[in-house]
């Protein structure tokens, strides 16, 4: 099944089922008003949702209409928890090499993960308001999974049984804050503004063989201001999503609707390009002695599309512009 959310009807939006070809959609009420509602009652509603989805694809669904991806919010406009990993070790190794930092203990065996804000996710076409260019604006293309209820101590193998949906996302970063926050030992906070999501969340079966071993076997095509930036492949994840979920649930239960991210998609082959500016900059530092590529400026656009071998884009497209956020005193007035 494929799901999207319209930014209406309340904080969690209104749930749509989207056809396999992303051309049509139909409201999911009265089965489930929101995607979070559906996730919390998954076993009770999945059969009816599947029947409606089948009707939609067969042209039988009443009240079906054209699907406007640009009008969508994030599939989950907010969620109980957002846990982002760093599962592509090539990305971390490049950072270590460029900055001559000591190796992170157990880097190859224990996933890195931070807990980000989950109260204000951005839709695929929303402008991205940020305080200032000097904060070091960067995009980070990733994949993620949305889980049902996950018990504490779940194994990596069993964790995959709790994956309900797969998503594509842009985990925005403000690079100027990162080094200081990392040194505190408390991790990212100001360095991580609201995360953006492609319009469509899909059940694993929709990806067919492109969902394998807890990994998304798709290329993530990234364009910055209309120019190719990279197309790294998701198959090179060193830690699969089963391992990431098990890591997140090692000492706690995960609520239905928790999102677990892969971290920046990164490939060893340099010809694949990159999914974030920081990685390109560190490659320039390693190869040329200095970073040449600047970070983002207001007015810049980034476009991200995961594509299969036939050119299909199962999640739709993230296409956003970075803008200056209004001053707090102007908003309050």
Please tell me whether residues 96 and 160 are part of one structural domain: yes
Of 37, 47, 259, the closest CA to residue 167 belongs to 259
- Distance (Å) of CA 137 to CA 15, 46, 149, 178, 283: 31, 40, 34, 11, 18
pLDDT digits (tens, 9 = 90+) for 193-232: 999 999 999 999 999 999 999 999 999 999 999 999 999 9
Please tell me whether residues 112 and 192 are part of one structural domain: yes
What is the extent of the structural domain holding 60? 2-67
Please tell me whether residues 104 and 144 are part of one structural domain: yes
Please tell me whether residues 183 and 324 are part of one structural domain: yes
The rounded Cα 47 to chain-centroid distance in angstroms is: 26
- 271: confidence class by pLDDT, cuts 50, 70, 90: very high
Of 14, 18, 24, the closest CA to residue 53 belongs to 18
Is beta strand 82-85 parallel, antiparallel or unpaired with respect to 259-261?
A: parallel
- The pair of structure tokens assigned to 164 is 């309900």
Which pLDDT score, from 0 to 100, does residue 261 have? 98
Average confidence score pLDDT of the chain: 95
pLDDT digits (tens, 9 = 90+) for 88-142: 999 888 877 755 667 778 888 899 999 999 999 999 999 999 999 999 999 999 9
Please tell me whether residues 136 and 103 are part of one structural domain: yes
Q: What gap in Å lies between CA 263 and CA 159, rounded to an integer? A: 18
Q: Which residues of 30-50 are buried (b: 16+ CB within 10 A; e: fewer)?
A: ebbbbbbbbbbebeebbeebe
Task: Name the domain count of the chain.
Answer: 2
- The pair of structure tokens assigned to 101 is 């930092």
Please tell me whether residues 258 and 315 are part of one structural domain: yes
């Amino acid at each position: 099944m494929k799901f999207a959310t319209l930014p209406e009807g309340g904080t969690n939006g209104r749930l749509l089922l989207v056809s396999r070809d992303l051309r049509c959609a139909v409201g999911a009420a009265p089965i489930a008003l929101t995607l979070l509602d559906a996730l919390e009652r998954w076993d009770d509603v999945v059969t009816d949702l599947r029947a409606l989805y089948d009707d939609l694809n067969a042209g039988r669904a009443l009240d079906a209409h054209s699907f406007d991806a640009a009008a969508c919010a994030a599939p989950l406009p907010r969620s109980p928890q957002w846990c982002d990993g760093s599962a592509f070790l090539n990305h971390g190794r490049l950072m270590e090499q460029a900055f001559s930092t000591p190796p992170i203990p157990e880097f190859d065996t224990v996933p890195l993960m931070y807990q980000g804000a989950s109260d204000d996710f951005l839709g695929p076409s929303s402008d991205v308001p940020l305080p200032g260019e000097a904060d070091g604006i960067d995009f980070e293309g990733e994949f993620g999974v949305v889980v049902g209820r996950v018990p504490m101590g779940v194994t990596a193998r069993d964790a995959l049984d709790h994956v309900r949906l797969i998503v594509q996302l842009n985990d925005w970063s403000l690079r100027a804050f990162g080094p200081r926050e990392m040194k505190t030992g408390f991790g990212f906070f100001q360095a991580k503004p609201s995360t953006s999501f492609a319009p469509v969340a899909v059940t694993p079966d929709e990806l067919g063989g492109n969902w394998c071993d807890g990994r998304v076997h798709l290329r993530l095509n990234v364009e910055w201001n209309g120019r190719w930036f990279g197309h790294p492949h998701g198959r090179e994840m060193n830690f699969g999503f089963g391992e990431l979920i098990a890591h997140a649930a090692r000492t706690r239960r995960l609520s239905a609707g928790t999102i677990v991210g892969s971290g920046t998609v990164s490939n060893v082959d340099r010809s694949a390009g990159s999914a974030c500016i920081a990685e390109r900059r560190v490659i320039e530092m390693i190869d040329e002695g200095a970073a040449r590529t600047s970070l983002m400026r207001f007015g810049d656009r980034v476009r991200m599309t995961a594509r299969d071998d036939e050119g299909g884009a199962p999640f739709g497209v993230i296409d956003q512009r970075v803008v200056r956020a209004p001053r707090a005193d102007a908003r309050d007035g």
